[in-house]
Amino acid sequence: MILISGRGSNMASLIAAKLPATICAVISNDPAAKGLATAAEHGITTAVVGHRQFKQRADFDAALAQAIDAHQPDIVVLAGFMRVLTEGFVSRYRGRLVNIHPSLLPSFTGLHTHRQALAAGVRVHGCTVHFVTPQLDHGPVIIQAAVPVLPGDDEDSLAARVLAEEHRIYPQAIRWLCEDRITVTADGIVRIAGARDAAGALLSPPPDA
Ligand code: GRF
């Protein structure tokens, strides 16, 4: 089950990855989400639970949960799903609700992460796949990718560099989940059975040769 709000490029990367799972449906909170057409083109069931119909966040979340549960998914994947979820909703799917966030968490939570990174002057930025917990953009980290921030960057160029890595790490994270290789310690640290150790370092800017 994939939840989207817009363009759906992360969703498309998950479809393209041919994961050992069936994408039972794609649900959007916005009927105008471009990703709905992409999903339909791939023969995937789509649905809309429009958040504007609901005055209370909890009522929207209840309707969304009902739409999700109709498909009995093992994993619920937030892929550019731009709604803050209530604690009740998050608890319902605890351990099987994952999100991708365009920053190296815990830095730059919330919106406009690339703007935040440029304003902070960091030289390394990136993206994170994590389990969702009630605290926004927190929760056990599954995989991260780091990219350099370059002197000429604006929000768009930085977002594009990060997005290319999102499209690599999200399918990998979901594959590990499908393969049942992920455990989370009591302290909230993710362990991945059989994952290789990362090597090397990204120095940004690189030192003189
Ligand atoms: C991605 O950068 C994602 O990390 C963020 O919103 C963007 C959604 O892009 N939460 P897309 O809809 O997957 O193309």
Per-residue pLDDT reduced to its tens digit, 14-57: 999 999 999 999 999 999 999 999 999 999 999 999 999 999 99
Q: Return mean pLDDT, the chain.
A: 97
Q: Look at the block and give the residue holding tokens 């005055």.
A: 55
**pLDDT recorded at residue 157:** 98
Pocket of ligand 1 (CB under 6 A): 4, 6-10, 35, 79-80, 100-102, 163, 166
pLDDT category at 149 given cuts 50, 70, 90 is: very high
Q: 10, 13, 111, 161: which to mutate for ligand 1, most atoms within 8 A of CB? A: 10
Q: Residue 68 class from Cβ within 10 Å (0-12 exposed, 13-18 middle, 19+ buried)?
A: buried
- Is this prediction's pTM over 0.95? yes
Hey, CA dihedral for 167, 168, 173, 176, is it positive or negative?
A: positive
Q: Residue 153 class from Cβ within 10 Å (0-12 exposed, 13-18 middle, 19+ buried)?
A: middle
SS3 47: strand
* Cβ atoms < 10 Å from Cβ of 49: 22
